Chain A
Amino acid sequence: MIRRPDANLLILLAAFPVLWFLPAGLKSYGLYVVSLWLVMSIAAMGLNLTLGYAGLTSLAQGAFLGIGAYATAILTTKAGWPLPAAFLASSGLSFAVGVLLGFPALRVKHHYLAFVTLAFTVVVFLVARNEQWLTGGVFGIANIPRPVLFGSDLGAALPFYRLLLCVTLVLALAMWWLLRSPWGRAFLALRENPLRAASLGIDIRAYTLLAFAIGSAYGGAAGSLYAPLVEFIDPAPFALSASFVLLLTVVAGGAGSFFGPFVGAFFSYMLPELLRATGGWYLIIYAAVVLVIVMISPTGLLGLIERWRDHRSQTRAAAARAAATPTLGAEAGGSESDSLRKGATP
C-alpha cells in the first residue's frame, strides 16, 4: 500500500459522496446499521494500526470502545458537555490510557501481550459494572443526547449518520496520512523486524507506545460515537467478547491493509443484521464465513488482492532481475554512479 499511496486516497474520496447520498433512502433501521458499521470501522482502524501495522496483538480494543463510550456518556449526561468536546476528551483519555497499557507491550509480546491486554479488558468491564456511582453499574446510562451542531439538530437518523460519515472520513484521512508518513514506515518496520528496525535507529519503545496509544485513541473515538448512536450504554457491549470480535474483524478483513477494517466490520457488524431473517442460524453462517475466509486467505479478504498484486509485481521484478544481474560492474545500464558525494549523482 505504500507502493501505490494514492489509490487509497482516491477510493476514500470517491466513497464519501456515494456513502453520503446512497443511504438517504433507507429507513432508520437501515441507517442505524450503516452507522454502526462506520463506528465499528473506526475502532477496527485503530486496532489495524496496533495489530496490522505495528504487529502488537491486542485484546483491549473493546475496552477502549467502552472507555470512550462511558467517558462521553458521563460527560454529556452528567456534566452537560457538548458532544464535540466530549469526543475530544474521550479520544484523549483513551490515548493516555493507551500509552500506559503500551508499557507492558515493551516487555512482552504475542500471546503474553494478548493476555495482558485481556486482563485489562476484564478490569475495565468490571469497573464499568461495579462502580455504580460513576458508570451507572449494571443499569447503564440512558438518554445519551445526540449533538446539536451550529444550531442544527443532528438527532435524526440521517443527519446523525452523515455526521458520523464526516468524522469517519476525517479519521480515515488522518490514518492515511499517518501511514504514509515516516511513522507508518517505522510501524511497519516494528512489525516485520524489530531487531533490524532498532539497528536503524528506530526507537522501538516510542513507536510501540505510539502504536498502542493511537490505536486506542481510535477505539475511544469510536466509543464516543457509539454512545450517542445507541443513546444507552451498559457494560455488556464492552465485555471481552467485543475485543475478540474486533480482532476477528481486523484479521478477516485483512490486517495491515488500509481498507481491511471497513471490509471486516462489514462482515462482523452488517452481515449479522442482513442475516437476521435466518433466525438463530446467522451466527453459524457468520462463523462459517469467517472460517472460510481465513482458510482461503489467511491474510484476510483484502490480503487476497494484495497477494495478487504482489504476484504481478514479482513477475515484473523477476523480469527486471533477468534483464540485469547485479554485478556492481560497469555493464549494468541506467544512471549509475561511482561516488556517494553530493552532486556526484548523474
Chain B
Amino acid sequence: MTHVLEVSGLKKHFGGVKAVDGVSFTVEEGEILGLIGPNGCGKSTLFNCILGQLTPTEGAVRLDGRVITGLYPAQLNRLGVSRTFQLLQVFPNLSVRENLILAGQEHKGTMLRRLFGARDAGLTPDADRMIAFFRLQHLADQKAGGLSYGQQKLLDAAMAFMAGPRLVLLDEPAGGVNLTMLENLKERLRTINRELGATFVVIEHNMDFVMSLCSRVVVMAEGKVLAEGSPAAIRNDPAVIEAYLGH
C-alpha cells in the first residue's frame, strides 16, 4: 500500500551541523499528522526539504509512491502539495480575492489559456466560497496588506486550500491567533480535511491545539524522530517529556 507522503532516511547537513539526521515517517490518506519538537530540533529544515526549498543531503521523499526529492516548489505545488508559512506570506498589494485567485490560477488550464482567457481564470466562485468559509466577506475587495494579523493568517491558510490540494503542510497555523478564534480555526481545518479529503501535516508549538486536532503525532529532537503515536500515547511518553522539559 502506498502512503500519501513517505519520508525515508532524510538527512540535511549544513557543514558539520546535522540539522536533520535520518528521519523516516509516513503520512496516510486523510489523516492530520502533528509534527512537534523543541526549537531547533529540525522541524523547519525537514519541512523545507520536503517542499523543495532545500536539497536534502541524503534520503528520499515520496508522494503517493513517486519520488519528489529535488523537484522545485512550484512543481510540487502543481502535484498537489500546498503549504502555509510560519510568518505571514500574503501579497499585501493584492485584494483578498485576488490573493485567492492567484493561489488557484496556476492549476487552471495552460499558460496561453491563462493569458487569453478570463481575467479571474474562472476562480471567482471558488474564491468567494473560500472567503465565505473563512468569514472574510466584508474584506474581499480590500488589499491584503490592510488586514489585521489574524485576518491575514486566515487568508494565508485559505490560499493553501484554494487549489484543492492533496497534501497540506501547515507551519504553525495557531501562532499568534487569539484564544477565541483558536477553536473555530480548528473546526475549519477539520471541515476542510473532511470535505476536501486533504491530508495535513501540522507543525505547531501549541500542544493543546496539536493534541486535539491531530490523529497522530511525530516528535522530533536533535534532527531525529524521537517518538511517534497517538496524541494520548505521546502525552505520556517519558522520552518526550524529557526532551521538552530538558534538564
A contact set with B: CB distance below 8 Å:
2-3, 5, 178, 180-183, 185-186, 188-189, 192-193, 195-206, 310, 313-314, 316-318, 320-321, 323-329, 332-342, 344-346
* B102 interface residue per 8 A CB criterion: yes
Q: How far is the CA of A120 from the CA of B134 in the complex (A)?
A: 49
Q: How far is the CA of A196 from the CA of B73 in the complex (A)?
A: 9
Q: B146 near A314 (CB under 8 angstroms)?
A: yes
Q: How far is the CB of B134 from chain A (nearest CB, A)?
A: 7
Q: A340 near B195 (CB under 8 angstroms)?
A: yes
* B205 interface residue per 8 A CB criterion: no
Q: How far is the CA of A297 from the CA of B51 in the complex (A)?
A: 39
Chain B residues positioned under 8 Å from A342 (CB to CB): 129
Query: 6 A-B pairs, CB-CB below 8 angstroms?
Result: A180-B119, A198-B77, A200-B106, A314-B143, A324-B138, A339-B133
Q: Of A180, A199, A329, which one neighbours B83 at CB under 8 angstroms?
A: A199
Q: B51 near A199 (CB under 8 angstroms)?
A: yes
Q: B137 near A336 (CB under 8 angstroms)?
A: yes
Closest to A183 in B: B115
Q: How far is the CB of B111 from chain A (nearest CB, A)?
A: 7
Q: Of B114, B137, B192, which one neighbours A335 at CB under 8 angstroms?
A: B137
Q: B130 near A193 (CB under 8 angstroms)?
A: no
The 0/1 profile, CB within 8 Å of A marked 1, for residues 72-100 of chain B is 11100110001101000111111100100
Q: B143 near A181 (CB under 8 angstroms)?
A: no
Q: B142 near A313 (CB under 8 angstroms)?
A: yes
* B62 interface residue per 8 A CB criterion: no
Chain A residues positioned under 8 Å from B181 (CB to CB): 326-328
Q: How far is the CA of A44 from the CA of B98 in the complex (A)?
A: 26
Chain B residues positioned under 8 Å from A197 (CB to CB): 74
Chain A residues positioned under 8 Å from B139 (CB to CB): 317, 320-321
Q: A203 near B74 (CB under 8 angstroms)?
A: yes
Q: Of B92, B119, B159, B185, which one neighbours A200 at CB under 8 angstroms?
A: B159
Q: A318 near B146 (CB under 8 angstroms)?
A: yes
Main secondary structure of the interface of B (DSSP, over half): helix
Q: How far is the CA of A183 from the CA of B111 in the complex (A)?
A: 8
Q: B191 near A320 (CB under 8 angstroms)?
A: no
Closest to A5 in B: B119
Closest to B165 in A: A201
Q: A317 near B146 (CB under 8 angstroms)?
A: yes
Q: B106 near A186 (CB under 8 angstroms)?
A: yes
Chain A residues positioned under 8 Å from B78 (CB to CB): 201
A-B pair number, CB within 8 angstroms: 167
Chain-A contact segment, one of B31-39, B147-155, B223-231, B235-243: B147-155
Q: How far is the CA of A320 from the CA of B137 in the complex (A)?
A: 10
- Chain B CB count within 10 A is highest, among A182, A195, A202, A337, for A182
Q: How far is the CB of A192 from chain B (nearest CB, A)?
A: 5
Q: How far is the CA of A296 from the CA of B149 in the complex (A)?
A: 30
Q: How far is the CA of A332 from the CA of B92 in the complex (A)?
A: 23
Chain B residues bordering chain A, tally (CB within 8 A): 66
Closest to B72 in A: A198
B contact set with A: CB distance below 8 Å:
51, 53, 72-74, 77-78, 82-83, 85, 89-95, 98, 101-103, 105-107, 111, 114-117, 119-121, 125, 128-130, 132-139, 141-143, 146-148, 150-151, 154, 159, 161, 163, 180-181, 184-185, 187-188, 191-192, 195-196
Q: Of A3, A201, A323, which one neighbours B138 at CB under 8 angstroms?
A: A323
Q: B134 near A328 (CB under 8 angstroms)?
A: yes
Q: How far is the CA of A315 from the CA of B89 in the complex (A)?
A: 22
Residues A313 and B111 in contact in the complex (CB < 8 Å), given A200-B102, A201-B78, A328-B181: no
Residues A193 and B89 in contact in the complex (CB < 8 Å), given A2-B94, A199-B77, A340-B192: yes
Closest to B140 in A: A334
Q: How far is the CB of B38 from chain A (nearest CB, A)?
A: 25
Pairs of residues from A and B, 9 with the lowest C-beta to C-beta distance, nearest first? A328-B184, A201-B77, A317-B146, A201-B106, A198-B73, A334-B137, A196-B89, A337-B132, A182-B114
Q: A321 near B141 (CB under 8 angstroms)?
A: no
Closest to B73 in A: A198
- Chain A CB count within 10 A is highest, among B77, B107, B154, for B77
Q: How far is the CA of A204 from the CA of B77 in the complex (A)?
A: 12
Closest to A206 in B: B111
Closest to A1 in B: B93
Q: A329 near B77 (CB under 8 angstroms)?
A: no
Q: B163 near A336 (CB under 8 angstroms)?
A: no
Q: How far is the CB of B126 from chain A (nearest CB, A)?
A: 9
Q: Of A310, A313, A325, A345, which one neighbours B132 at CB under 8 angstroms?
A: A345
Residues A185 and B83 in contact in the complex (CB < 8 Å), given A200-B102, A310-B143, A340-B129: no
Chain B residues positioned under 8 Å from A313 (CB to CB): 142-143, 146
Q: How far is the CB of A278 from chain B (nearest CB, A)?
A: 39
Q: B74 near A3 (CB under 8 angstroms)?
A: no
Q: How far is the CA of A321 from the CA of B145 in the complex (A)?
A: 13
Q: How far is the CB of A175 from chain B (nearest CB, A)?
A: 12
Q: A192 near B143 (CB under 8 angstroms)?
A: no
Q: A328 near B135 (CB under 8 angstroms)?
A: yes
- Chain B CB count within 10 A is highest, among A183, A205, A321, for A321
Q: How far is the CB of B202 from chain A (nearest CB, A)?
A: 16
Q: A336 near B103 (CB under 8 angstroms)?
A: no
Q: B133 near A189 (CB under 8 angstroms)?
A: no
Q: A192 near B92 (CB under 8 angstroms)?
A: yes
Q: How far is the CB of B231 from chain A (nearest CB, A)?
A: 23
Q: How far is the CA of A193 from the CA of B92 in the complex (A)?
A: 10
Chain A residues positioned under 8 Å from B143 (CB to CB): 3, 310, 313-314, 317
Q: B114 near A183 (CB under 8 angstroms)?
A: yes
